[in-house]
């Protein structure tokens, strides 16, 4: 048993393989089992997730401005954006439906982008929240991630079902593409984010002001 | 692999090296930005041109929904519908696809396609459920760009893109012709009326006609168009004529065209040529009439029944028309003759005559009048009482020559037609007058006297009969005569009683029966007596028992 503050694998020069999970000295360069490159931390994770986040944010705007769905009902063409659809449900009195759409399509992607950006900031030490806060935030992004695709799934089903020729046809609009891109990008962003960076930063703050000089000895 | 001896863990610090300034992942947000910008640009900024079209009403047009189509291909959408400032029309703002800019040029027409039901067409059925849309008919290629249009209220029946001849027809009266009415050539439908407008000052109705490309060669410079709408019943001198066009034309009107017999077809018509639309086939046929010579006829009779445009005929051949009937044509006051101005088209006469008849006082005409050429009014139809002017040679006409009245040359006239009829009637009346009516009346009077005597005599006879009848009545009225039936009845009753006494129950009958019985008994005894006497004549004296006849005895013992 090791006493005192737990020594981190990274501090011992050990890295877990990204693919097979084998722990190996990072000095080997490649995993002795599956020959994957070994990294102590995901390389450039903050940059990656930040870049993907910005991309998602960039597409978030058109995804709500452009129609996601074009309904041709008896020749009556209507273009629906996510917001107009939600407002339609709201004005029709289908409040739960409107709330679901608002949460899944508007709020969640937005919150996901915001929280990930905040986490990135925390990982680079720009904000210094409490560890508990960080834990909650990270859990929150994990939780949100699963629900972002609801809209796209619904749209996919509706579009494939509602092909009744002249009577009713639903076609996806450009907004759907943008929205799907937003969801996919946020997922990738979440994937490329390295949560260990958060804890590294925490340790760093707790032990020494300069991470480069603090070299815990075995 | 854990079995494998690991090298002693080296003290390694996680690499918190400053991240690379540039990482390939930054391409992703760049691409996303470009993509997002492009999507928004395409949806909003890259919208095509906007045109405003003015319609009377926005019936069936919805902002954001109603499409603009060109040959059923969507080229734009109604972005906004606004009431015009003068409140008399609506302005629709049409947003076109960016590639439809060239469609907005001068001559482009717009109209709303909605369900229309009329005799000639049932169109726009699909819009019953899909809603109306705005159809665009692009103007001729190369037209100037334009962004403000006035929409048509009625749809153009054929697109401008359809090849064919587009003509203008002017008529005095629209009749039952309407947009969509068919155009016939020899009863075969070759085109349609595409539009109609009231001409300036409301004097004429102008129709836009369309003839299909394959029939456009049929329309030539000398083609005449006429209205074949409805049923044409005309009572003319040659009887009753009933002409009906096709059923459709009967309901919706129609136009026919053709070249008048004998006319040259002329050069093929070009687009936009204007033709006169005649009221009917006859007026179209006579439309070639080009009067050049005008004469004044002075009639000393009524011209009732003579109308403007009444034919002027030479022995039945029409050579002109009545141009005017008015006292104003004669400058001299106090002339009670009726001036009738006729216009003659020499082209309708024989070519050599036409050549000679160049002026109104030509030698040819003078010679003709000298030979007895006169104008007369004749009855064209006894039913309608219409008159026409007839030019003919009259051998017995009083000598006359071409005259001059004001600016017009006059042709001498003779009374004819009704006037002649009048003369004949007078002659008949004269003859009636000449009959020995007085003598006849006297004879009739004598006969009447005779008849009177006869009547008196017969009246005396009647009186006698009357007297006899009175006497008869007197006899009948006598009371004795009246009791006659009563007496008669009494007698009959007595007779009945007598008969009853004789009947089976009567007293006489009983007596009679008894008498008869006694008589029968007497006769029987008499018979017996006679038999006895016959057998024994002496019995009369000696009685019956002393008869000598053996008395039959019964045989002894034997039985």
* Distance from the first to the final alpha carbon of chain B: 185
For chain B, state the CA radius of gyration: 63
**pLDDT > 90: percent of chain A:** 0
pLDDT, residue B522, reads: 93
Q: Are residues A53 and A22 in the same domain?
A: no
- Measured between beta carbons, which residues in chain B are less than 8 angstroms from residue A52? 25, 28-29
**pLDDT > 70: percent of chain B:** 80
Q: Are residues A133 and A76 in the same domain?
A: yes
In a domain, A3, yes or no: no
Nearest chain A residue to B41, by CA: A62
- Look at residues B17, B16, B22 and name the one whose alpha carbon lies nearest to residue A197: B16
Q: Are residues A49 and A36 in the same domain?
A: no
Write out residues 43-102 of B within 8 Å (CB-CB) of A. Answer: 43-44, 65, 67, 77
Write out residues 2-31 of A within 8 Å (CB-CB) of B. Answer: 8, 10-14, 22, 24-27
Which of A13, A24, A192 shows the shortest C-beta gap to B11? A13
In this model, does residue B263 exceed pLDDT 80?
no
Q: Do A200 and B14 touch (CB under 8 A)?
A: yes
In a domain, A1, yes or no: no
Q: Do A27 and B6 touch (CB under 8 A)?
A: no
The sign of the dihedral angle between the CA atoms of B269, B272, B276, B281 is positive
d(CA A186, CA A53): 6
In a domain, A28, yes or no: yes
CA distance, residue A153 to nearest chain B CA (Å)? 21
Please state, in angstroms and as integers, the Cα–Cα distance from residue B132 to each residue in B57, B67, B68, B114, B128, following that order. 13, 8, 10, 5, 8
Name the residue range of residue A55's domain: 44-207
Please state, in angstroms and as integers, the Cα–Cα distance from residue B59 to each residue in B53, B94, B113, B122, following that order. 14, 15, 11, 19
Q: Which of A13, A32, A187 to mutate to test the interface with B (most CBs of B within 10 A)?
A: A13
In this model, does residue B495 exceed pLDDT 70?
yes
Q: Are residues A155 and A65 in the same domain?
A: yes
Which of A12, A52, A75 shows the shortest C-beta gap to B25? A52
Q: Are residues A17 and A60 in the same domain?
A: no
In a domain, A214, yes or no: no
Q: Do A41 and B15 touch (CB under 8 A)?
A: yes
Mean pLDDT across the stretch B104-113?
A: 84
In this model, does residue B521 exceed pLDDT 90?
yes
Phi, psi of B119 (to 5 degrees): -65, -40
In a domain, A17, yes or no: yes
Q: Which of B27, B36, B45 to mutate to test the interface with A (most CBs of A within 10 A)?
A: B36
pLDDT, residue B288, reads: 63
- Which pLDDT band holds residue B209 (cuts at 50, 70, 90)? confident
Indicate which CATH number applies to the domain containing A94.
Answer: 1.20.140
In a domain, A216, yes or no: no
Q: Do B28 and A55 touch (CB under 8 A)?
A: yes
Q: What domain count does chain A have?
A: 2
Write out residues 14-43 of B within 8 Å (CB-CB) of A. Answer: 14-16, 19-20, 23, 25-26, 28-33, 35-37, 39-40, 42-43
To 5 degrees, how large is the angle CA B69–CA B78–CA B154? 60
In this model, does residue A148 exceed pLDDT 60?
yes
Residue B453 structure tokens: 């005597």
- Look at residues B348, B340, B360, B349 and name the one whose alpha carbon lies nearest to residue B293: B360
In this model, does residue A215 exceed pLDDT 60?
no
pLDDT, residue B558, reads: 46
Mean pLDDT over all residues of chain B? 79
Buried b / exposed e over B108-142, threshold 16 CB at 10 Å, is bbbbbbbebeebbeebbeebeebbbbbbbbbbeee
Point out the least confidently predicted range of A2-6, A172-176, A189-193.
A2-6
In this model, does residue B151 exceed pLDDT 80?
yes
Are the C-beta atoms of A21 and A157 separated by less than 8 Å? no
Q: What is the largest CA-CA distance in chain A?
A: 76
Ranked by mean pLDDT, the top range of A21-30, B465-474, B533-542 is B465-474
In this model, does residue B64 exceed pLDDT 70?
yes
On whether any CB of chain B is under 8 Å from the CB of A61, the answer is yes
ipTM of the predicted structure? 0.72
- Measured between beta carbons, which residues in chain A are less than 8 angstroms from residue B31? 55
Q: Are residues A136 and A36 in the same domain?
A: no
For B361, which DSSP code? T
In this model, does residue B3 exceed pLDDT 60?
no
CB-based contacts of A36, cutoff 8 Å, min separation 6: A17, A18, A19, A20, A30
In this model, does residue A212 exceed pLDDT 60?
no
Q: Are residues A31 and A136 in the same domain?
A: no
- Which pLDDT band holds residue B393 (cuts at 50, 70, 90)? confident
Which of A14, A22, A74 shows the shortest C-beta gap to B1? A22
pLDDT, residue B559, reads: 45
Mean pLDDT across the stretch A18-25?
A: 82
d(CA B108, CA B105): 6
Q: Are residues A91 and A147 in the same domain?
A: yes
Mean pLDDT over all residues of chain A? 78
Point out the least confidently predicted range of A119-133, B2-16, B379-393.
B2-16
- Which pLDDT band holds residue A108 (cuts at 50, 70, 90)? confident
Q: Are residues A191 and A138 in the same domain?
A: yes
Q: Are residues A59 and A22 in the same domain?
A: no
Number of A–B residue contacts, CB under 8 Å? 125
Are the C-beta atoms of B10 and A13 separated by less than 8 Å? yes
Place of tokens 């401005």: A65
pLDDT, residue A5, reads: 60
Which one has a higher pLDDT value, B525 or A167?
A: B525
Q: Do B4 and A32 touch (CB under 8 A)?
A: yes
Place of tokens 């079209």: B53
* pTM, full prediction: 0.45
CA B501 to chain centre: 98
d(CA B206, CA A181): 61
Q: Do A56 and B32 touch (CB under 8 A)?
A: yes
CA distance, residue A74 to nearest chain B CA (Å)? 5
Nearest chain A residue to B34, by CA: A58
Nearest chain A residue to B9, by CA: A12
Which one has a higher pLDDT value, B21 or B205?
A: B205
- Which pLDDT band holds residue B75 (cuts at 50, 70, 90)? confident
Residue B416: count of CB within 10 angstroms of its CB: 22
Nearest chain A residue to B26, by CA: A51
The bridge status of strand A168-172 relative to strand B133-137 is unpaired
Q: Are residues A18 and A103 in the same domain?
A: no
On whether any CB of chain A is under 8 Å from the CB of B3, the answer is no
- Which pLDDT band holds residue A116 (cuts at 50, 70, 90)? confident
Mean pLDDT across the stretch A60-73?
A: 83
pLDDT, residue B469, reads: 92
Q: What is the pLDDT of residues B461-474, one digit of tens each?
A: 999 999 999 988 88
- Which pLDDT band holds residue B390 (cuts at 50, 70, 90)? confident
- Measured between beta carbons, which residues in chain A are less than 8 angstroms from residue B21? none
Q: What is the pLDDT of residues B24-41, one digit of tens each?
A: 778 888 888 888 888 888
- Measured between beta carbons, which residues in chain A are less than 8 angstroms from residue B25? 44, 47-48, 51-52, 192
Q: Are residues A152 and A192 in the same domain?
A: yes
Write out residues 131-190 of B within 8 Å (CB-CB) of A. Answer: 131
To 5 degrees, how large is the angle CA B161–CA B166–CA B170? 150
Ranked by mean pLDDT, the top range of B16-20, B329-333, B368-372, B486-490 is B486-490
Nearest chain A residue to B38, by CA: A62
């Amino acid at each position: 048993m090791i006493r005192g503050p737990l020594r981190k694998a990274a501090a011992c020069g050990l890295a877990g393989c990204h693919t097979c999970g084998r722990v190996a000295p990072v000095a080997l360069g490649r995993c002795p089992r599956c020959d994957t490159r070994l990294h102590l931390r995901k390389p450039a994770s903050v940059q990656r997730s930040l870049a993907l986040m910005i991309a998602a944010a960039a597409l978030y705007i058109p995804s709500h401005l452009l129609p996601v769905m074009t309904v041709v009902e008896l020749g009556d063409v209507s273009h629906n954006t996510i917001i107009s659809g939600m407002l339609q449900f709201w004005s029709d009195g289908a409040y739960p439906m409107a709330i679901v759409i608002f949460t899944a399509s508007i709020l969640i992607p937005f919150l996901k982008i915001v929280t990930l950006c905040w986490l990135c900031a925390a990982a680079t030490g720009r904000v210094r929240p409490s560890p508990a806060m960080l834990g909650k935030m990270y859990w929150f992004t994990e939780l949100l991630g699963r629900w972002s695709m609801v809209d796209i799934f619904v749209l996919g089903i509706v579009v494939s079902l509602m092909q009744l020729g002249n009577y009713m046809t639903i076609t996806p609009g450009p907004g759907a593409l943008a929205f799907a891109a937003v969801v996919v990008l946020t997922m990738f962003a979440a994937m490329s984010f390295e949560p260990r960076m958060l804890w590294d930063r925490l340790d760093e703050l707790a032990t020494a002001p300069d991470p480069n000089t603090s070299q815990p000895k075995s | 692999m854990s079995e494998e001896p690991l090298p002693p863990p080296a003290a390694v610090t996680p690499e918190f090296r400053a991240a690379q300034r540039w990482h390939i992942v930054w391409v992703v947000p760049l691409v996303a930005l470009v993509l997002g910008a492009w999507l928004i640009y395409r949806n909003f900024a890259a919208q095509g041109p906007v045109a405003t079209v003015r319609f009377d009403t926005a019936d069936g047009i919805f902002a954001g929904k109603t499409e603009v189509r060109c040959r059923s291909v969507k080229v734009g959408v109604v972005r906004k519908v606004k009431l015009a400032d003068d409140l008399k029309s609506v302005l629709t703002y049409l947003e076109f696809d960016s590639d439809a800019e060239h469609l907005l040029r001068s001559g482009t027409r717009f109209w709303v396609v909605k369900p229309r039901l009329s005799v000639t067409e049932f169109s726009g059925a699909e819009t019953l459920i899909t809603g109306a849309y705005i159809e665009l008919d692009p103007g001729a290629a190369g037209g100037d760009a334009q962004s403000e249009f006035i929409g048509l209220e009625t749809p153009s029946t054929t697109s401008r893109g359809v090849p064919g001849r587009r003509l203008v027809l002017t008529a005095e009266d629209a009749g039952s012709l309407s947009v969509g009415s068919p155009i016939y050539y020899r009863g075969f439908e070759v085109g349609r009326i595409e539009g109609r407008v009231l001409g300036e000052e409301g004097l004429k109705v102008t129709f836009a006609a369309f003839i299909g490309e394959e029939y456009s060669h049929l329309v030539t410079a000398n083609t005449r168009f006429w209205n074949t709408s409805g049923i044409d019943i005309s009572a003319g001198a040659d009887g009753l004529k009933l002409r009906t066009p096709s059923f459709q034309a009967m309901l919706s009107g129609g136009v026919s065209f053709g070249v008048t017999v004998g006319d040259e077809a002329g050069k093929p018509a070009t687009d936009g040529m204007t033709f006169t639309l005649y009221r009917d086939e006859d007026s179209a046929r006579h439309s070639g009439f080009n009067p050049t010579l005008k004469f004044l006829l002075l009639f000393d009779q009524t011209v009732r029944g003579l109308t403007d445009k009444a034919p002027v005929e030479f022995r039945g051949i029409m050579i002109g028309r009545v141009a005017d009937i008015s006292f104003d044509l004669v400058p001299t006051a106090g002339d009670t003759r009726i001036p009738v101005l006729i216009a003659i088209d020499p082209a309708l006469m024989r070519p050599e005559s036409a050549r000679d008849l160049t002026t109104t006082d030509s030698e040819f005409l003078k010679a003709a009048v000298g030979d007895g050429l006169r104008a007369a009014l004749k009855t064209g139809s006894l039913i309608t009482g219409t008159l026409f002017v007839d030019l003919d040679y009259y051998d017995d006409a009083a000598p006359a020559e071409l005259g001059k009245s004001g600016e017009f040359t006059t042709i001498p006239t003779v009374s004819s037609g009704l006037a002649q009829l009048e003369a004949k009637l007078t002659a008949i009346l004269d003859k009636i007058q000449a009959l020995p009516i007085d003598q006849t009346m006297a004879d009739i009077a004598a006969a009447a006297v005779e008849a009177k005597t006869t009547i008196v005599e017969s009246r005396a006879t009647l009186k006698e009969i009357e007297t006899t009848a009175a006497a008869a009545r007197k006899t009948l009225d006598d009371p004795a005569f009246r009791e006659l039936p009563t007496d008669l009845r009494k007698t009959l009753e007595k007779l009945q009683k007598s008969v009853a006494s004789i009947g089976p129950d009567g007293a006489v009958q009983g007596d009679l029966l008894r008498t008869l019985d006694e008589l029968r008994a007497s006769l029987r005894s008499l018979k017996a007596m006679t038999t006895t006497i016959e057998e024994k004549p002496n019995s009369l004296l000696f009685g019956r028992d002393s008869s000598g006849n053996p008395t039959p005895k019964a045989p002894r013992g034997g039985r």
